[in-house]
Chains A and B, each alone.
Chain A
Amino acid sequence: MTDYAIANPLREPKETFRRYAIFGLCAIIVLAVGKDIIIDKTDWERMGTLQEMIKTALFFVPEWSFFPKTVLPLLETLLIAIWGTILAVVVSVPIAYLAARNITPLPWITYPLGRGLIVLSRSTHEIIFALIYVSALGLGPLPGILALATRSVGFLAKTTAEAIENANPGPIEAIEATGANRVMVFCFGVIPQIDPILVGNVIFQLDINIRRASILGLVGGGGIGLMFAEVMQNLQYSRAGVIVVGITGMVVIGEFISNRIRQRLI
């Protein structure tokens, strides 16, 4: 008994064997899958030499004279992100109200409903939502906005619901004790407790949505992505280079501003 207590349990022979077996198995699976999907399924003949690869990459060297034409689509992308986020906030607060265990009005019905909506929103990619909205509403920024909003509701409602669940029950109880109705208990007892968290998450979501908005155009959702798809189809790689730089710049600026704001909030 004492021997076992002193000895490092990791060194116990059976345990060691099991660890190696699991490691080995994982390694075999990774290598086998790697061989199948990378080595076998790549068209090595077509890839060409390193020199040719560098030559292709140089096609993307930005053609700066094209830059002014990207400004408006970039701005549109930013607006899609902002509108999608605003819409998501408006929808997510009532969903969070349903999905917060401590205040949901009818725990057996509204709680699963709220959680279900959150899962629905979070489990689907924004491109899929965009495809659905584009086929329903046609091309343009509106389906893009709706796709982002639908995708963002889940994250915002989930984090808000969690903040509500972690809220101090004391003030909520105090407002209930004044005879206030449910809406006022929520607005007075709950919202002031969660609004710093809510604002922080909204800004974080906006930051992510700027990135998401830049690809919605690929499926007809408006913004810079549409222009990117066009120039790629026309093999205008140097213009694609300009767009990539533009998107990167916008995302970096967005991230910088959002970090600044969130730091100030905390």
Chain B
Amino acid sequence: MATCRREFLLSFRRKSDLVNPLIFFLMVATLFPLGVSPEPGFLAQIAPGVVWVAALLATLLSMDALFRSDYEDGSLEQLLLSPQPLFIVVLAKVVAHWMMTGLALTIMAPLLGLMLFLPSEGMPGLMLSLLLGTPTLSLVGAIGAALTVGLKKGGVLISLLVLPLYIPVLIFGSSAVQAAVTGLPLGGYLALLGALLALALGLAPLAISAALRISISS
């Protein structure tokens, strides 16, 4: 898709936007051993939650930029006017964004798991749950980004709007990792994450397009 390709090109030309969420992800994870306790047993216990919270915050941080530059240079209006259905265009933008952040976070997650002494049995669970969960985070976050794109200071507002909606993903995601660590079957949690993703995939683009139209019209 052309929109997808354009997004990739744009983000590769601005490498800092690409790398910043990942650095943030790493730094948040570093804060916990320093702030709470460096003891391996304790860290292993909180690791699933910490990695998930860090991934969630990193996604949230990158969300504001999703429509911002397009809005400022006017290409968002062109996208809205283009003959392609907005649903597809928006979906392409979000997918591209997810590949830059969510997928990268997923690939980086084992490193954080290692830093936090996550038992190696938990690693597949961590990767799988992030793989299924982060697209939902991107989709839901994009609704917040679309609603606030017309505002000067959208950053804090996005977190206020979107964080409550992130909580279910966080709960099932970290539970999946916990289950993997203790050797319990994690199929149920992954199925729930998948269900959330399916729901978001079907409905979020509708909400995003509606929100973009509202933001642009003002």
Binding partners A and B = no
